[in-house]
Structure 1
Amino acid sequence: MELISPADAIFLVGESREHPMHVGGLQLYRPPEGADKDFVRDLYQDMLTHTEFQPTFRKRPATILGGIANVGWAFDSDVDIDYHLRRSPLPQPGRVRDLLELVSRAHGSLLDRHRPLWEAYLIEGLNDGRFAVYTKVHHALIDGVSALKLAERTLSEDPADTEVRVPWDLPPRKREKPDVDGGVLARLPSLSAAADALGSIASLVPSTVYLARAALLEQQLTMPFGAPKTILNVNIGGARRVAAQSWPLERIRRIKDAAGVTINDAVLAMCAGALRAYLLEHSALPDKPLIAMVPVSMRADDEDDTGGNQVGALLCNLATDVADPAQRLTAISESMSGNKQVFSELPKAQALALSAVNVAALGLSMVPGYVNAARPPFNIVISNVPGSRKALYWKGARLDGHYPLSIALDGQALNITMANNGDNLDFGLVGCRRSVPHLQRLLGHLEDALKELERAAGA
């Protein structure tokens, strides 16, 4: 038996029917030229032959002394591949909306704790000939960024590569030695940082005066609990709805160049415009701007990209109270640059610890009655995850879309995560089915917001 770390145990203890604690990913593939009608069936048979499982994919929570749970891991020696790997045909006519409905149901169901905490679905029957893979893994085993990277390791840049690789049968990568300052937020955006934050708060003491000046006098630093209450910041149910769509990165780059902002600024403005339109549609737009938690790299431009992750969590003013898209983009860019400036002037350990405080605020949603009684620390988490910049293939099938699907929580009924995939930026939206009605309309609002930004920037 292996003990469960306190950070990982948070996801097991905090899980309930209303709060599934797994992360997922939806990959959409286009079969290679000349593939016959049995291509997906043969692919499924190839996947079934992978019956060697890495330790992560053999783990399940152990029960100790007949009743103590969430303390240790048990490792299954005989994993039932027929249970964990599922071939799922779509109902006709096999529209993308049928695919997303199937994934929505799967993403809202709990993983069986009597088995290793993962499932994979090979989905066929799309009317355009494409097929999909949906995978979900409990966050106590792996975080969303690592899950996306693991999925990418099964793929190849060579379309002629016919080897079928699967996540559960990949050799582990060697861990690189972490920096002395690293590791506090190595798994953002997640509640793991809440546990790490407890040991890091003391490092903030020398900077208390500086932070107070920045936050209260210079108004550079966006602090938690200043966000307005919205229809997105409520207690949630257990059912989920997901939405996914890709946009060309070139469109966003043109806005970035024309407006003199960053790619992330432009993406945040795209999300802000969509959220404003969605809330207006439901007569629920607050007078105060929405605040987003945004994970960002804390690594200097000239710093060697080795060692532990250096990721911080900034809070960004989305300026959803501003009607003009150009002014909204400017406000978002100023908010991000101002927050980054404050963080950059702190010692790295203190900056990471301050980020941990922002993330730790998510844990308050687990306190009974808190969401209804208090203002949210922020309104939404918007994450931009690094992905592959090259075209990828799986047994010759081209990866058309790679959509990360994260976790909704009490007080955070909607999550937006995106990852770059070749020349595209792939958006994955996850929302509470009850609290976020007509989630798919946000995709249309995202496109409208992007067009508004293009016109405003002259891009």
Structure 2
Amino acid sequence: MGFLAPIDSVFLLGESREHPMHVGGMHLYVPPEGAGPDYAREMYESFIAQHEMHPLYRNRPVNPVGTLGNIRMVQDQDVDLEYHVRLSALPRPGRVRELLALVSRIHGTLLDRHRPLWEMHVIEGLEDNRLAIYHKIHHSLLDGITALKMLERTLSTDPDARDCPAPWSPHEKRPRTNSRSGPNPLALLRSGADLIGDVAGLAPTAVRLANQALRGSDVLGPMQAPRSMFNVPIGGARRFAAQTWPMDRLSSVAKATGTKLNDVVLAMCAGALREYLLEQSALPDDPLITAVPVSLRAPGDQGGGNAVSIILCNLATDQADPVRRLETIAHSMRQSKEFMRSVTPLQAMAIGAVNMSSIALNQIPGYARFAQPSFNILISNVPGPTEDLFYNGARLDGLYPLSIVLDGFALNITLTSRAGYLDFGLTGDRHSVPHLQRLLTHLEDSLTDLEKATA
């Protein structure tokens, strides 16, 4: 057993019925040729037969009802796979709409802290014969990049392979887990000087960030976002919407404008949010600000826990012209990235904590209703597999992420790249973000506008 890192412990400390703190993924698979009508049950039974388990999937809070359970994990030696892995069927006609409704309900329920903090649902009954798997795991155990790395290790590039492991099976290259017997004194001695230097730099860095914001710098600091319909208290129910776009379409816009692919992603989202808010008669006069997670992992880092910071970006939703909007976004991202490159990783994490500080403050009753938000929405682009992958012959046909929404931040847009495609997952509070699926139409319209303007 071992203590969690502070950033990981926050996800347990901040959890409540209104704020489940797990992340998830909805994966679509095309069954292999010759698969029969019982293919989903066969896959489910193959999962629950695999009892060998990665330590990460054994982690549970050491004392679920006490304070210690928020900061310390223990390894559960007897994991009940028939509880964690479930087989479900969609009501007829089994459209994607019914799948999204089911996944929305499951995503809104808390994980049982008396058990390891994960669940997996095998879902059959889609009218096009595809199979869905929804997998959720507590954010205190890993970040999105680690989750994708672990998923990719279970899949194969060979459509004929039939020996793929379950997601919880041990792997040769194991991610770091949060369960450890204690600190390594030699490692602490080796890193002590660097750590002291980094900590000493935190206050000057925070002052530098504030000074730049006060001088009108393009680097955004906290509490500069306008109030919007997304910055309100939320309930525990969720809506989820998902759709795929070919990466080539966004890459063509990026090439034509000399911007980055992620700049085009943000511009696509900005245009969609602008139209959605206009539709709701709720577009602020000032531009929306998005929080964008950036990984702090070194090359070769296999993951485990959370190693991310947050930068803020001007979405230019006050501008009607799609190209000017993209240019403003690209400039804002350049400025923020250059600033983050000028500081150490620890200082970068501290800046991210400052940018995210309003999340903690929003848990104070009434705060989210009146306070100035640090940002309006979180948009995250997680790199995924670059080639087609298969699970025992079933081809991966969709990799849609589901994330966390909180008081003051009722909408989250997360996307994953997959073999030439971008899979968007939109997670929203069911009450505060009505007609969430309309954002999918607006995303398509926003991308089309960019394509026309840059053709």
Could you tell me whether the CA contact under 8 Å between 2:229 and 2:282 is conserved in 1?
yes
Identity %: 54
Partner SS, residue 132 of structure 1: strand
- 1:400-448 CA deviation, whole Å, 9 max, x = no partner? 1101111001111000011100010011111100111111111111001
Deviation at 1:65, TM superposition (A): 11
User: What CA distance in whole angstroms lies between the structure 1 residues aligned with 2:69 and 2:301?
Assistant: 34
Report the TM-score, using the length of structure 2 for normalisation: 0.89
Is residue 361 of structure 2 the alignment partner of residue 335 of structure 1?
no
- Structural RMSD (CA): 2.5
User: What CA distance in whole angstroms lies between the structure 2 residues aligned with 1:122 and 1:64?
Assistant: 27
Is residue 234 of structure 2 the alignment partner of residue 240 of structure 1?
no
Cross-structure match for 1:32: 32
Is residue 280 of structure 2 the alignment partner of residue 282 of structure 1?
yes
Could you tell me whether the CA contact under 8 Å between 1:46 and 1:164 is conserved in 2?
no
C-alpha spacing 1:288/1:208, structure 2 compared with 1 (3 Å): same
Is residue 320 of structure 2 the alignment partner of residue 305 of structure 1?
no
Could you tell me whether the CA contact under 8 Å between 1:242 and 1:429 is conserved in 2?
yes
Deviation at 1:172, TM superposition (A): 5.8
- Choose the corresponding residue for 1:223, options 217, 221, 224: 221
User: What CA distance in whole angstroms lies between the structure 1 residues aligned with 2:348 and 2:80?
Assistant: 45
Partner SS, residue 168 of structure 1: coil
Q: Larger deviation: 74-83 or 286-295?
A: 74-83
C-alpha spacing 1:308/1:207, structure 2 compared with 1 (3 Å): farther
Is residue 77 of structure 2 the alignment partner of residue 77 of structure 1?
yes
Runs (4+) off by over 6 Å: 64-67
Give the aligned length: 434
User: What CA distance in whole angstroms lies between the structure 2 residues aligned with 1:37 and 1:65?
Assistant: 44
C-alpha spacing 1:55/1:340, structure 2 compared with 1 (3 Å): closer
C-alpha spacing 1:162/1:376, structure 2 compared with 1 (3 Å): same
Could you tell me whether the CA contact under 8 Å between 1:271 and 1:446 is conserved in 2?
yes
User: What CA distance in whole angstroms lies between the structure 2 residues aligned with 1:65 and 1:122?
Assistant: 30
- Choose the corresponding residue for 1:447, options 429, 444, 448: 444
C-alpha spacing 1:412/1:212, structure 2 compared with 1 (3 Å): closer
- Choose the corresponding residue for 1:391, options 388, 398, 402: 388
Deviation at 1:163, TM superposition (A): 1.6
Deviation at 1:116, TM superposition (A): 1.5
- Choose the corresponding residue for 1:317, options 314, 317, 330: 314
Cross-structure match for 1:401: 398
Deviation at 1:457, TM superposition (A): 1.1
2:299 aligned partner, one-letter code: D
Could you tell me whether the CA contact under 8 Å between 2:52 and 2:170 is conserved in 1?
no
- Choose the corresponding residue for 1:432, options 426, 429, 448: 429
Cross-structure match for 1:273: 271
In the TM superposition, what are the counterparts of 1:205-220 in structure 2 within 5 Å? 205-207=203-205, 210-212=208-210, 214-217=212-215, 219-220=217-218
Deviation at 1:162, TM superposition (A): 1.2
Report the TM-score, using the length of structure 1 for normalisation: 0.88
Could you tell me whether the CA contact under 8 Å between 1:160 and 1:396 is conserved in 2?
yes
Deviation at 1:329, TM superposition (A): 0.8
User: What CA distance in whole angstroms lies between the structure 2 residues aligned with 1:224 and 1:275?
Assistant: 21
Is residue 60 of structure 2 the alignment partner of residue 60 of structure 1?
yes
Cross-structure match for 1:87: 87
Is residue 404 of structure 2 the alignment partner of residue 410 of structure 1?
no
Partner SS, residue 408 of structure 1: coil
Could you tell me whether the CA contact under 8 Å between 2:209 and 2:221 is conserved in 1?
no
Deviation at 1:308, TM superposition (A): 8.5
Cross-structure match for 1:48: 48
Is residue 253 of structure 2 the alignment partner of residue 259 of structure 1?
no
- 1:192-234 CA deviation, whole Å, 9 max, x = no partner? xxxxx9x966413445675455323352211111101111010
User: What CA distance in whole angstroms lies between the structure 1 residues aligned with 2:74 and 2:295?
Assistant: 35
Partner SS, residue 411 of structure 1: coil
- Choose the corresponding residue for 2:202, options 204, 214, 219: 204
Deviation at 1:167, TM superposition (A): 1.4
2:240 aligned partner, one-letter code: V
2:339 aligned partner, one-letter code: V
Is residue 16 of structure 2 the alignment partner of residue 22 of structure 1?
no
Could you tell me whether the CA contact under 8 Å between 2:173 and 2:302 is conserved in 1?
no
C-alpha spacing 1:349/1:55, structure 2 compared with 1 (3 Å): closer
Deviation at 1:140, TM superposition (A): 1.9
